[in-house]
Amino acid sequence: MSDAALPPDSAAAPAATPASEPITPAQRDDLRRQGILLTSIEELYNWGRSHSVWPLNFGLACCAIEMIAASMARFDIARFGSEVFRPSPRQADLLIVSGTVTKKMAPQVIRLWNQMPEPKYCIAMGACAISGGPFKQGYNVLKGIDRFIPVDIFIPGCPPRPEALLHGLVQLQAKIRGQPLTGPDAPRHLRSDVECNCPIPEFGAHDLVPTQNPTVWQPPQPIVRPDKA
């Protein structure tokens, strides 16, 4: 067709959406109904990560029984892509701290965490892993694994049921899907200014040394009311 046969610009097809304007969910649904899938590298990358979270085959106490139940046929953690419990931390993405963490065991738990490659995640399952639970006052029990390693999801209960673990896993998947791949909120493995490994405490005369990892946990500060200051 010669140029003379083309309509003038003013009579051309309706103006296209400017490239910088984001596509709306309604437009995306329209396209999906026509067999066209639109996504971004970030969504695709996060979708892949969130549906292949392989846990470490590891448990500490009674909560581990509930974790095992979650992988059985009745609850079927395979529906969420996490049935591949790995026997080696080198192949695992998720540390489920399920049970009481004694101070004698804590260095080993942190060592396992350090041996897992990034990207990796941690779920503190049950009252013991969160705070020491019924053994909180014990001299030998750690008052929360979050004092030493970064915890992504806390699941309360003594013990939490398998459904609670599945709910925690779904929450973790949502968290992964919402992570930007650039900027200050990017995951640890994509940032050069964040240390991925955690220091392993040693046994001191009366307690672990140090007693916490200050980069992941700070003691809560007392709330001082202005009228009491």
- Rounded to a whole number of angstroms, the minimum distance from the CB of residue 203 to ligand SF4 is 22
Return the number of the residue (89 or 99) whose C-beta is nearest ligand SF4. Answer: 99
Q: Are 132 and 144 in contact (CB under 8 A)?
A: yes
Binding track over 157-176 against ligand SF4, x by CB under 6 A: -xx-----------------
Return the number of the residue (72 or 158) whose C-beta is nearest ligand SF4. Answer: 158
Query: Which of 53, 92, 122, 127 forms a contact with ligand SF4 (CB under 6 A)?
Result: 127
Give the binding range for ligand SF4 (CB under 6 A) out of 19-27, 28-36, 61-69, 77-85.
Answer: 61-69
Of 78-117, which residues contact ligand SF4 (CB under 6 A)?
99-100
Give the binding range for ligand SF4 (CB under 6 A) out of 16-24, 25-33, 58-66, 219-227.
Answer: 58-66
- Rounded to a whole number of angstroms, the minimum distance from the CB of residue 134 to ligand SF4 is 5
Distance of CA 223 to the CA centre of its chain: 29
- Asked if 186 interacts with ligand SF4 (CB under 6 A), we say no
- Rounded to a whole number of angstroms, the minimum distance from the CB of residue 114 to ligand SF4 is 23
- Rounded to a whole number of angstroms, the minimum distance from the CB of residue 137 to ligand SF4 is 13
Give the binding range for ligand SF4 (CB under 6 A) out of 46-54, 57-65, 75-83, 183-191.
Answer: 57-65
- Asked if 200 interacts with ligand SF4 (CB under 6 A), we say no
Q: Are 130 and 146 in contact (CB under 8 A)?
A: yes
- Asked if 145 interacts with ligand SF4 (CB under 6 A), we say no
Query: Which of 55, 89, 126, 150 forms a contact with ligand SF4 (CB under 6 A)?
Result: 126
Helix axes 41-50, 162-177, angle to 10 degrees: 160
Pairwise CA distance, residues 215 & 194, whole Å: 10
Contact footprint for ligand SF4 (CB under 6 A): 61-63, 99-100, 126-128, 133-134, 158-159
